[in-house]
Amino acid sequence: MLLMVVSMGSVVSAYAQRESKTINDGWKFLRKDCPAAADSAFNDNDWISVHVPHTWNLEAYTEKNYYRGISWYRKCLVVPSTWTGKQIFLKLDAVSKAAVIFVNGKKIGEHIGGYTACTFNVTPYFSESSVNTLAIRVDNARQDIPPISGDFTFFGGIYRDVWLTAVPAQHFNLTNQASAGIFITTPVVSAEQGTIAIKSEIKNDALEKVTMELIYSIYRPDGAFLQKGKKKVQLKGGETRVVQQESEPILQPQLWTPETPYLYKVKMELTNPVTGEVVDYSEHYTAFRWYRFDGKEGFFLNGKPYKLRGVCRHQDQKPIGVALTDEMHRRDFLLMKEMGANFIRISHYPQDDALLEMCDKLGMLAWEEIPVIDIVPDTPGYGDHCERNLREMIRQHYNHPSIIMWGYMNEILLVTQRRYKTEEEQKPVLERTLALAERLEKALKEEDDTRLSTMAFHGSNSYNEVGLSRITDIVGWNLYSGWYGGDLTGFEHYLAEQQRDYPDHPLIVSEYGAGSDKRLHSLQPRAFDFSSEYQQIYLEHYLPVLEETPYVCGGTHWNFIDFSSALRDESMPRINNKGLVYADRTPKDVYFYYQAAWRKDIPVLHIASRDWKYRSGVQQGDVPVALPVKVYTNLPEVELFMDGKLMGKKPVENHQVVFDVPFVGKTPYLSARGNYQDTPVYDGLRVHFTSVPMNLNRHNLGGALELAVNVGSNCFFTSDESQLTWVPDQPYVKGSWGYLGGKEQNTQTEIMLTPDGPLYQTLREGLDGYRFDVPEGNYEVELLFADIYRSITSAAYLLGKGNGESSECSNSFDICINGRVVEPAFTPGRDGYFQAVKKRYVVQHTQDGLEIKLNPLQGKCFLSGIKLRKL
């Protein structure tokens, strides 16, 4: 057959005949089930047009209950005439979470798992002469496919590339779990010499037997040809054959590290030995590197101690969900690399090939995992699907030298322990969890004995007690002391305990992090206030511990990016805001703390106030407000200037220095200067400043007064909408302003009907009122409320939003201003709990200051914010 083709053709191409192209454009989409759509004659004219990458869940950025169900995609395809007689393969890089594929009305296959690829030979179903229809039924609701639980959105859709590949009848196998059909290892590797072993799967889709030649060629990192080897292979009709080849020793190989990502190219050619024609072709990169993890001494790369400086990465981007293009994945990689990271935890699921390619080429070690999270259900099929996804991930990404470990469970006891309280209830869950872990560990080692296994645990010793920690090579700990509970030092204490009790367990801090919201700032930051400053303090505490504790192999910060988690409330509903960069990939100030700590090769000097451009402060008399200005840097000392005037020069400690700067003027220009290798380095930015008077006497109120207070909070809050800053609360003292009695209260539940949620999430409860010692005049007073007390008896459990029923609404009070009742029996929760309510009053001819009183009638009185404006 082959000979015939050759003799018929006028020119014999020396190039391979493999052709690959994306078919990302021209799809039709319907967001509901429509079984009839499988049929080739189905009319999809009224479906919407989309191209892939695509997801149908963009509403997850605004709604908790995003659509989980079935959707359909359809597309028409004409096979190029040059593909006649070839084998044609369809590859879906990722479809979440399950796909059934129909070609011309026939079901050709299905795939389970939303984060790994699948490939099908579509040749028997395709027509070469007419239009083909492709219909794909996608389901992101299935509970038998991981993930079934987790703090992120399970976006549905065909959200990575779709490919068609055409190859001659003889080719590298494309249908081994969507892998390349070529598996490369380096069985010998040292500074002196290394070898490359190649296992190829060759397939003969013709009926006749053939003799082929398999040729490998190896090229040095600089592109120079190194060596070549050949092997003759006989294949029967329909046979798939595995061929092993090993290179001659390569002396003094250039070793791969994240800093020196030397890649050796392996070119694989399948040729016709008679004509010399290259029938199929495939190119891969590999590298010489070796590593080990030690329980006491940490991680070693190529024999040298090496700290894993990492981040975890989720793959979505607001507002486009997971439908990222390759260049967006590459952009994320470059941001991590720029920051100085040398390690990535690809969490919690396999990610785009584009990312792995960058890890190899530009240098970053990687941990990749499958999404088995929170609990192991007893759903039939679940374990099979986990194992299948694990094997797919390993085969598909096997040839990436950047990957050093595979993972398969995250915080698997978290929901287990929350849901099942007694030992008796937990027993069967623990048993199946252990059984699945053992099963996955076995599969992992069968697939790849050159890499290590790992799991990530939450901070509970039960992983040791239950025996889970014995299963994998490495243990990962997700530690949040000082965030979800405990204090910052709990972090190092936990690590020390683990080291004391399990000194031989190599350990990585697989997560740590704290949330931050650009709108919130504090001079007295605390856990869970979502101020940028608390996130900074938290990370400034954790990073030195990671760096300086030798037995800690490294850490991966949670998370690199503010990511989508539809179920989350907190200050930015639907977003987990622990990122070092915002969802739009703008770096937070704290990104530069990491860069300052990790980069030595470039000067880093960053005034950490990009996130805090709208500054405000309470001014005592004529004394300018002194506010801290932080600089992150890797330089030894820094000078700070305001509007060109030197404010001071200070030595740097822990990659930062803080100046107390008296703020004057409305738009001061801050600049910093340091020296890097005898060359001056600068940074500068303009900020806005508004002072708020402490004493509200006539002298201070000269011009306009707009005094907005974030009642019940230690934080400044700047509204995204108006840029108005609400200053932190304070107790009343004579001549000034502040609250009268009560105590602070807060909620993490989303506040409805306002873009300024955080303002309402903090409040003062049980206060008598609020007082401003203002001079005589006319004023406007605005009061902000949200009833966060679901009902008086269950105040400690915030069960979610109110339903608008007023029956159990029991918090009611009179609002009085200067002795007059302005709102009798005000019931802030009347229209629903967790809803913003704003009341504005004009107060004329005040005589003796302004006093707002809240007189309880039933339940509690409370206040979230207050604003005073002079008319």
User: Could you say which of ligand L9D, Ca ion, none residue 712 binds, taking C-beta under 5 to 8 angstroms by partner kind?
Assistant: Ca ion
Distance CA 509, CA 459 (A): 10
157 binds Ca ion (CB under 5 A): no
String marking each residue 86-105 x if it binds ligand L9D according to CB under 6 A: --------------------
Beta carbon of residue 279, minimum distance to ligand L9D (angstroms, whole number): 46
255/763 with CB nearer Ca ion: 763
Would you tell me the crossing angle of helices 532-548 and 490-501 to the nearest 10 degrees? 30
Closest CB to ligand L9D: residue number: 151
Closest to 727 in 3D by CA, of 616, 810, 628, 614: 616
Contact yes or no for 281/269 (Cβ under 8 A)? yes
| 373 DSSP assignment | B
746 binds Ca ion (CB under 5 A): no
- Of 313-321, 506-514, 706-714, 836-844, the segment contacting Ca ion by CB under 5 A is 706-714
18/771 with CB nearer Ca ion: 771
The number of C-alpha atoms within 13 Å of 88 and in the hemisphere containing its C-beta is 23
Count CB neighbours of 501 within 10 A.
10
Beta carbon of residue 433, minimum distance to ligand L9D (angstroms, whole number): 16
Closest to 472 in 3D by CA, of 412, 427, 409: 409
The secondary structure element, H or E, covering residue 706 is strand 706-710
Q: Which of 146, 407, 693, 712 binds Ca ion (CB under 5 A)?
A: 712
151 binds ligand L9D (CB under 6 A): yes
478 binds ligand L9D (CB under 6 A): yes
Q: Which of 710, 745, 754, 827 binds Ca ion (CB under 5 A)?
A: 710
121/478 with CB nearer ligand L9D: 478
Within 558-597, the residues that bind Ca ion by CB under 5 A are: none
Distance CA 359, CA 862 (A): 53
Residues 47, 50, 53, 55: is their CA dihedral positive or negative? negative
Distance CA 306, CA 296 (A): 13
Q: Which of 864, 866, 867, 868 binds Ca ion (CB under 5 A)?
A: 864
505 binds ligand L9D (CB under 6 A): no
349 binds ligand L9D (CB under 6 A): no
Within 446-465, the residues that bind ligand L9D by CB under 6 A are: 458
Burial (CB count <10 Å: 0-12, 13-18, 19+), residue 816: middle
* Sequential DSSP letters for 258-295: SSS---EEEEEEEE-TTT--EEEEEEEEE-B--EEEET
Ordered alpha helix ranges (H), 739-864: 757-761
Beta carbon of residue 520, minimum distance to Ca ion (angstroms, whole number): 10
Beta carbon of residue 529, minimum distance to Ca ion (angstroms, whole number): 11
- Angle 376-380-385 (CA atoms, 0-180°, nearest 5)? 70
User: Could you say which of Ca ion, ligand L9D, none residue 247 binds, taking C-beta under 5 to 8 angstroms by partner kind?
Assistant: none
String marking each residue 640-669 x if it binds Ca ion according to CB under 5 A: ------------------------------
532 binds Ca ion (CB under 5 A): no
Beta carbon of residue 758, minimum distance to ligand L9D (angstroms, whole number): 18
| 253 DSSP assignment | P
String marking each residue 386-425 x if it binds ligand L9D according to CB under 6 A: ------------------------xx--------------
583/836 with CB nearer ligand L9D: 583
**319 residue type, one letter:** P
426/762 with CB nearer Ca ion: 762
Residues in contact with ligand L9D, counted by CB under 6 A, come to a total of 10
Distance CA 661, CA 622 (A): 15
User: Could you say which of ligand L9D, Ca ion, none residue 410 binds, taking C-beta under 5 to 8 angstroms by partner kind?
Assistant: ligand L9D
Which residue's entry shows tokens 């609990």? Answer: 375
557 binds ligand L9D (CB under 6 A): no
What is the gyration radius of the CA atoms in the chain, in angstroms?
31
Question: Residue 546 corresponds to which tokens in the numbers above?
Answer: 């990671």
Residues near ligand L9D (CB under 6 A): 150-151, 410-411, 458, 478, 511, 558, 576, 578
Residues near Ca ion (CB under 5 A): 710-713, 759, 762, 864-865
